[in-house]
Chain A
Amino acid sequence: MEVRADDVSKVIGPATLLAPVSVSAPSGSCLVLRGPNGSGKTTLLRILIGTLPATTGTAQVGDRPADERDPVVRAAVAALVGAPATYRDLTLRDHLVLLDATWGGDSDTCDERVAAALEELGIGHLGERFPHELSSGQTQLFRLCLTLFRPSEVLVLDEPEQRLDTTKRALVADLVAARRDAGTTIVLACHDPVITERLTGRPADRVVDLVAADSATERASGDD
């Protein structure tokens, strides 16, 4: 499923959060957004997943406007943009079981798939812990696990490398690359060169460098 943004920008009051930009990620490719703090990476991701309407331009997921109120968009897009709401009285394993059930997963294979998903990210031994009992790095792995576990055609991640050690970053890069190779469209904001290199090795993959809105304005003035 293709993800596309045409000339989108975001302005709130006097603040320009995102200068006009166009990006696209064809089906089964990876788009990596880079740029300094304040360049609008997270804002663009929120526009692409449909939780934030753009001030100008349009964003689409497949052939539908990017609006998470549309159940089809919600079903297609798995996103880790900000902290997901978790249940304080469920263990990590319970979360994945609940997630699987709400997406209509096969109940006969649920336990095995849940165990495998936790093991993939190296947190299989934490299955009986509650979310508040995790370190910050383990919390990030758990959030990634939730996002990767739910079915999706588009995967959107905001700095998945946050709080992870070098080994885990490589592990996450491999898992996300495997999803891309399986046909999922990947869009992520990332500062990590290893993950970026791992995910942009194919011709269809792209890296887009965003610039801060102020710099864009200055540059435009200079061009004039």
Chain B
Amino acid sequence: MSLEAALDDGRDRLEDATHVLHGPQGNQARKEVAYAAYVTLIVVGLYGFPVLRALVIAGDRAGMAAALKSPWAVALAIGLIAAVLAMAREAGRVRGPVVAPVPWVDHVVTSSIDRWDALRPWFGYALFTTLFAGGLSGLLVGASLWGAGVAASWVLPVAVLVALVIGLGAGTAWLLGQSRLSPPLPRRSAGAWWRQEVRRLGLQDLRTQAARSGRIVGGVQAGDLRAVRLEAARPVTRGRTLRLRHRGPVGTLVARDVLGLRRSSGAAVVGIVASAAAAVALGGALGSPSVPPLVAFVGGLVSYLGMGALSEGLRLEADTMGTPALFGAPPVRAAAAHLVVPGTLHLLVTTTAGAVTGLAAGATLAAVLPWCVISTLFALGGSLLAAYRGRPPTSPFNPVPNAQTIVLWYSAPLVLCTLLIGGTVWGATQWPASGPFVIVTWVAAVWIVYAGLNRAQRESLAHRDV
């Protein structure tokens, strides 16, 4: 049989397989992807655009317009694009763009049908998704800047075009991240480079990613974040010769977290950089009245994320809830011990970077330092609440939580921390000498840590099945 005849035969067999699986109406996945895009477009139009435009208007528009033209803005944009590409490539290792269902991989991709033909639909969905996400992001940002009067109308098409290119670049990095898991093909076949990359995908990697994707989706739907995290996290292989030493019941837990960060140095770097960036934003907001309040809230969000990157030990401890007792530390004491390393690192970075920025912006140390300490306490409490969040809430009327409930439940600690840190810093700029405000914020900071520890205690008691 000639190559052309074999390819034609393969396409016929693919059509037959699709007919058997989906009937005469064919695969409906394309319509589902289009519907998801339609819903996203409506949500972004209804909520994303007005909110972003309002935030831009609430900020310092003149300052923002000037900042957009500065070399710093260009450098920041290049840095962000590089980060997006790097993350897309890393994501490809975990869950690439070409992920067909496991049965399709087992029964169709394993056959002699050309691998590009067998996987082309999923390549198409991913390509559409990246282009749509890029274009929509550009449209949102461009429209918001234009609508707020920060930029001229020409920004809109330029933003869409640039974002489309970034989306395409991210899609390429995503595909390369996946295809580089498999060894190169022994010889090049005909066709464009992306076809070569898809044909390069090995059966084992395709199957692993398909199964992992199913488990991640299942974990998200069930609110089983441990399963999601373990599926998505890169396996630790570094520092195996480093050894944990017995330093007493609490000291060993603290040493465990130090060892964990040494073995996952990427997480440590991300946590420290994010905490420092957040502290710069908070210090700037505290030191200069020209910095818009929005910056403080973004700083609060990033500060929480930085703490989260440093808190893997806390999350792993929380994962042991509901399993037969293996380790002997009481739950609350263990949770508190796991706060030492992330809390100390976050506090050092936040106070240092925040104080330096605040002083450079013209504030006194006393006007900056307490609020940096409070932001660390808020982030610590938020990390505790997140680690011990348990299972999504259910009720007799809603035994299976819906998507909105899961999103709210999952994002609650993040939103709480963002509002508390951002609100505190904003309040500190409004009422710097107000005694009641100072008392309320300290009480709130201590309360959130207490609430987190209390949550750990309740989780340790409440998980028993009924």
Q: Mark A104-130, 1 if CB is under 8 A from B, else 0.
A: 110100110000000000000000111
Q: Is the CB of A89 within 8 A of B328?
A: no
In the bound complex, how far is the Cα of B235 from the Cα of A132, in angstroms?
7
Complex: chain A residue closest to B241, CB-CB: A128
Q: Is the CB of A88 within 8 A of B235?
A: yes
Task: Tell whether A94 is near chain B: CB-to-CB under 8 Å.
Answer: yes
Q: How far is the CB of A11 from chain B (nearest CB, A)?
A: 12
Q: Mark B393-417, 1 if CB is under 8 A from A, else 0.
A: 0000000000000000000000000
Q: Is the CB of A89 within 8 A of B259?
A: yes
- Counting chain B residues whose Cβ lies within 8 A of the other chain, the interface size class is 35 or more
Chain B binding surface, main DSSP class: loop
Q: Which of B320-376 contact A (CB under 8 A)?
A: 320, 322-330, 334
Task: Tell whether A97 is near chain B: CB-to-CB under 8 Å.
Answer: yes
Question: Chain A: how many interface residues by the 8 Å CB criterion?
Answer: 49
Q: Is the CB of A77 within 8 A of B260?
A: no
Q: Is the CB of B328 within 8 A of A150?
A: yes
Task: Tell whether B252 is near chain A: CB-to-CB under 8 Å.
Answer: yes
Q: Is the CB of A74 within 8 A of B325?
A: yes
Q: Is the CB of A75 within 8 A of B328?
A: yes
Instruction: Kindly specify which of A46-54, A174-182, A207-215 makes contact with the partner chain.
Output: A46-54
Complex: chain B residue closest to A104, CB-CB: B249
Contact of B235 among A69, A79, A105, A130 (CB under 8 A): A130
Q: Is the CB of A147 within 8 A of B244?
A: no
Task: Tell whether A57 is near chain B: CB-to-CB under 8 Å.
Answer: no
Q: How far is the CB of B391 from chain A (nearest CB, A)?
A: 15
Q: A89-B259, A90-B256 are in contact. Are A69 and B464 (CB under 8 A)?
A: yes
In the bound complex, how far is the Cα of B268 from the Cα of A31, in angstroms?
48
Q: Is the CB of A53 within 8 A of B230?
A: no
Q: Mark B257-280, 1 if CB is under 8 A from A, else 0.
A: 001100110000000000000000
Q: How far is the CB of B125 from chain A (nearest CB, A)?
A: 30
Complex: chain B residue closest to A75, CB-CB: B328
Q: Is the CB of A68 within 8 A of B235?
A: no
Q: How far is the CB of A45 from chain B (nearest CB, A)?
A: 10
Q: Which residues of A contact B245 (CB under 8 A)?
A: 97
Q: Which residues of B contact A129 (CB under 8 A)?
A: 240
Q: A94-B244, A101-B249 are in contact. Are A89 and B236 (CB under 8 A)?
A: yes
In the bound complex, how far is the Cα of B243 from the Cα of A82, in angstroms?
28
Complex: chain A residue closest to B267, CB-CB: A89
Q: Which of A67-81 contact B (CB under 8 A)?
A: 67-69, 71, 74-75, 77-81
Q: Is the CB of A107 within 8 A of B246?
A: yes
Contact of A150 among B246, B322, B326 (CB under 8 A): B326
Q: Is the CB of A80 within 8 A of B461?
A: no
Q: How far is the CB of B64 from chain A (nearest CB, A)?
A: 42
Q: How far is the CB of B274 from chain A (nearest CB, A)?
A: 19
Task: Tell whether B186 is near chain A: CB-to-CB under 8 Å.
Answer: no
Q: Is the CB of A85 within 8 A of B320?
A: yes
Q: Is the CB of A100 within 8 A of B246?
A: yes
